[in-house]
């Protein structure tokens, strides 16, 4: 299926409707507002000064009040301009249609301050078309005007070469391929490179190799500690980096993670951080310190278990007399103590037994 445009053999006039209007504004208006805008645009295109709002109302079979309300809506949106009459009953005012393309270019492309000199240079660079052609091959789709402008802004802001920009695109859409690859992800890569003073393709490849190793580490810790195969948050990554920086060993980090998962039903990064502080303060952030921590912990558990066993044994050794081992009188007294409602006459019971 395809949409084609056949050139008319007879020209009877046309009213061009900009794509920006269709994509961004058409869904904002109701039926009356759309009809008023398109019919007014057609009248402006034909430059017929004899036509006005009364003619629009008659053509659409609506009241003149609805026509005025529609123009007020389009003025509020920013697509037309006119001088509102002082008299509310006055409807003969001139409508000026604003070029959407011109406003879009002014707001997105033309530099407004001297700080954007480099952006302006890049925008009119002879090689910029080749850059975007190569970028579209990488992302496998056309780049919108917004995307192109973002690319120029990022290259200027982060002082990134065209080659590094294309490399970041390849990482985003092919080499690393996150779940939802997007230019926003590309921007994050460029920010990291700028922050870490990455200026060449070789430096970028080395940086990304190190980043992948760290990412695998973060995911592994997250999987062991929280049973989640995802990247930790920035705060959680900070805890991991702090431990690795102090211990200079990922093995010690994973031993600490395993201790948290064994000791706690619901381990957290907070418990990992607390364990790190305890080891650093009382023992040491090393294998020896962890061994000492485990040894003392096991000893305290053993002492506690022995105390519980001893207490249990003492309670078992304490033996009370049963009713069979008591005299009849002692048994009745015990029963009355246990059950005050039970009232027996010991004397009468004794006499009856003597007979």
Query: CA gyration radius for the chain?
Result: 42
- Between CA 39 and CA 177 the distance in angstroms is 48
Residue 97, SS3 per DSSP: strand
Could you tell me if 36 and 67 are in contact, meaning their C-beta atoms sit under 8 angstroms apart?
yes
Q: Where are the domains of the chain?
A: 19-101, 113-199, 233-311
How many Å apart are CA 31 and CA 43, to the nearest integer?
A: 18
Q: What is the pLDDT of residue 114?
A: 46
Q: What pLDDT was estimated at residue 345? A: 52
Residue 243 tokens read as 């431990």
Residue 275 backbone dihedrals phi, psi, to 5 degrees: -65, -40
- What pLDDT, on a 0 to 100 scale, did the predictor assign at position 61? 92
For residue 48, what is the DSSP state? -
**Spatial distance between the Cα atoms of 55 and 67, rounded to a whole number of angstroms:** 10
Helix axes 201-226, 162-170, angle to 10 degrees: 30
Domain covering 19-101 in this structure, CATH number:
1.10.10.10
- Confidence at residue 346, expressed as pLDDT on a 0 to 100 scale: 47
Tokens, residue 52 = 């006005």
Q: By the 8 A CB rule, do 120 and 152 touch? A: no
What element of type H or E holds 117? Answer: helix 117-123
Chain centroid to CA 60: 48
Q: How far is residue 54's CA from residue 340's CA, in Å, rounded to a whole number?
A: 104
Render each residue's pLDDT in the chain as its tens digit; 355 residues: 556 556 666 556 677 777 777 777 788 788 998 898 888 888 887 766 667 888 888 888 999 889 888 888 888 777 888 776 666 666 777 788 877 666 555 555 444 554 455 555 555 666 777 888 888 888 888 877 778 888 888 888 888 888 899 999 998 888 776 667 788 888 888 988 888 888 888 998 888 888 888 888 888 888 888 888 788 888 888 898 888 888 888 888 888 888 888 877 788 889 899 988 988 888 888 889 888 888 888 877 666 666 666 656 555 554 555 555 666 677 667 666 665 555 545 445 544 555 4
* Angle 44-45-47 from CA coordinates, rounded to 5°: 60
Long-range contacts of 125-131 (CB under 8 A, 24+ apart): 127/162, 128/152, 131/162, 131/165, 131/166
Are 82 and 88 contacting, i.e. CB atoms less than 8 angstroms apart? Answer: no
pTM: 0.43
At residue 109, the pLDDT reads 47
What is the model's pLDDT at position 312? 60
Which residues fall within 8 angstroms of residue 125, CB to CB, at 6 or more apart? none
């Amino acid at each position: 299926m395809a949409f084609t445009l056949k050139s008319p053999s007879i020209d009877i006039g046309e009213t061009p409707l900009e794509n920006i209007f269709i994509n961004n504004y058409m869904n904002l208006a109701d039926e009356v507002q759309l009809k008023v805008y398109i019919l007014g645009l057609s009248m402006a295109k034909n430059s017929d000064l004899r036509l006005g709002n009364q003619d629009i109302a008659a053509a659409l079979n609506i009241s003149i009040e609805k026509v005025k309300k529609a123009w007020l809506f389009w003025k509020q949106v920013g697509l037309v301009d006119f001088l509102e009459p002082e008299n509310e009953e006055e409807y003969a005012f001139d409508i000026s249609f604003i070029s959407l393309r011109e406003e879009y270019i002014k707001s997105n492309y033309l530099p407004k301050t001297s700080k954007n000199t480099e952006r302006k240079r890049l925008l009119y660079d002879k090689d910029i078309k080749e850059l975007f052609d190569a970028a579209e091959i990488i992302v496998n789709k056309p780049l919108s005007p917004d995307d192109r402008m973002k690319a120029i802004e990022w290259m200027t802001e982060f002082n990134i070469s065209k080659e590094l920009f294309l490399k970041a695109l390849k990482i985003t859409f092919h080499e690393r391929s996150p779940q939802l690859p997007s230019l926003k992800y590309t921007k994050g890569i460029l920010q990291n490179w700028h922050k870490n003073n990455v200026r060449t393709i070789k430096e970028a490849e080395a940086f990304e190799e190190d980043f992948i190793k760290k990412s695998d580490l973060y995911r592994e810790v997250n999987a062991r500690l929280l049973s989640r195969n995802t990247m930790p948050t920035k705060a959680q990554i900070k805890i991991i980096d702090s431990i690795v920086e102090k211990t200079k060993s990922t093995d010690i980090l994973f031993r600490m993670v395993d201790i948290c998962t064994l000791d706690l039903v619901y381990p957290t990064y907070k418990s990992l951080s607390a364990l790190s502080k305890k080891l650093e303060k009382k023992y040491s952030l090393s294998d020896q310190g962890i061994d000492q921590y485990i040894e003392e912990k096991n000893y305290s558990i053993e002492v506690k278990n022995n105390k519980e066993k001893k207490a249990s044994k003492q309670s078992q050794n304490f033996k009370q007399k049963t009713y069979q081992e008591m005299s009849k009188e002692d048994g009745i007294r015990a029963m009355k103590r246990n059950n005050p409602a039970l009232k027996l006459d010991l004397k009468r019971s004794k006499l009856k037994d003597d007979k």
